[in-house]
């Protein structure tokens, strides 16, 4: 039995695509377009590159995030204690249609990715985009879109469990509507990482 391997081609210009690393976002060396690699083939994906708002001397990396847009519908929620505390402190709730930010690069330590995911998802920041990876390097993306959707739902559940009061019951629907890739600037310091945007440092 013989297997014929089809070469991957850029969806924009038709040039061959290749990568030295396991990267789910393939960049065309000919025209600079990005394609998503999944299930053995390439497909178009909406993406944007965010302009840094903080300047540091440390190496600049553009970290891929899945931005998962989802409808969060809570039908019933039962809380033991803390209900008043939630109202008094003005605790934000994850309800309705919103974006969930999921760091999609294994190179970023989990301790930073978890904090960034939650802070960006809660704050729902607005960014200025740029046309290229200026003065920095693009970090390899290792997370698939379906995994990002599952992680987005986990962020919602973790948030509900951590705010004041003991969550006893939660009946909800989490409906993923779309997902895009956003490259956020981050500085790699000797022993840590820092996002290069004012929101979600």
In a domain, 25, yes or no: no
User: Is the distance from CB of 172 to CB of 179 less than 8 angstroms?
Assistant: no
Structure tokens at 152: 């987005």
In a domain, 201, yes or no: no
Instruction: Quote the domain boundaries for residue 148.
Output: 49-125+141-195
In a domain, 5, yes or no: no
More confident residue, 6 or 176: 176
In a domain, 93, yes or no: yes
In a domain, 42, yes or no: no
**166 pLDDT band (50/70/90 cuts)?**
low
In a domain, 99, yes or no: yes
In a domain, 184, yes or no: yes
CA distance 24 to 197: 24
In a domain, 145, yes or no: yes
What is the structure's pLDDT at 3? 36
Residue 2 has pLDDT above 50, yes or no: no
- Per-residue pLDDT tens for 72-119? 998 887 776 655 445 544 567 788 999 999 999 999 999 999 999 999
Q: Domain count of the chain?
A: 1
What is the structure's pLDDT at 161? 79
**130 pLDDT band (50/70/90 cuts)?**
very high
């Amino acid at each position: 039995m013989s297997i014929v391997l089809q070469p991957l081609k850029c969806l924009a210009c038709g040039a061959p695509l290749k990568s030295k690393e396991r990267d789910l976002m393939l960049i065309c060396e000919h025209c600079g377009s990005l394609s998503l690699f999944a299930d053995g083939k390439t497909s178009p994906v909406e993406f944007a590159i965010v302009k840094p708002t903080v300047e540091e001397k440390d190496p600049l990396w553009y970290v891929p995030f899945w931005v998962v847009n989802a409808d969060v519908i809570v039908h019933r929620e039962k809380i033991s204690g803390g209900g008043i505390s939630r109202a008094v402190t003005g605790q934000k709730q994850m309800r309705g249609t919103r974006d969930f930010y999921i760091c999609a690069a294994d190179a970023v330590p989990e301790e930073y990715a978890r904090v960034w995911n939650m802070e960006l998802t809660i704050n729902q920041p607005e960014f200025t985009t740029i046309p290229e990876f200026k003065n920095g390097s693009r970090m390899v993306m290792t997370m698939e879109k379906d995994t990002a959707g599952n992680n987005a739902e986990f962020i919602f559940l973790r948030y509900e469990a951590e705010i004041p009061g003991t969550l006893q019951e939660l009946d909800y629907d989490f409906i993923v509507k779309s997902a895009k890739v956003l490259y956020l600037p981050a500085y790699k310091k000797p022993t840590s990482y820092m996002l290069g945007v004012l929101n979600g440092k």
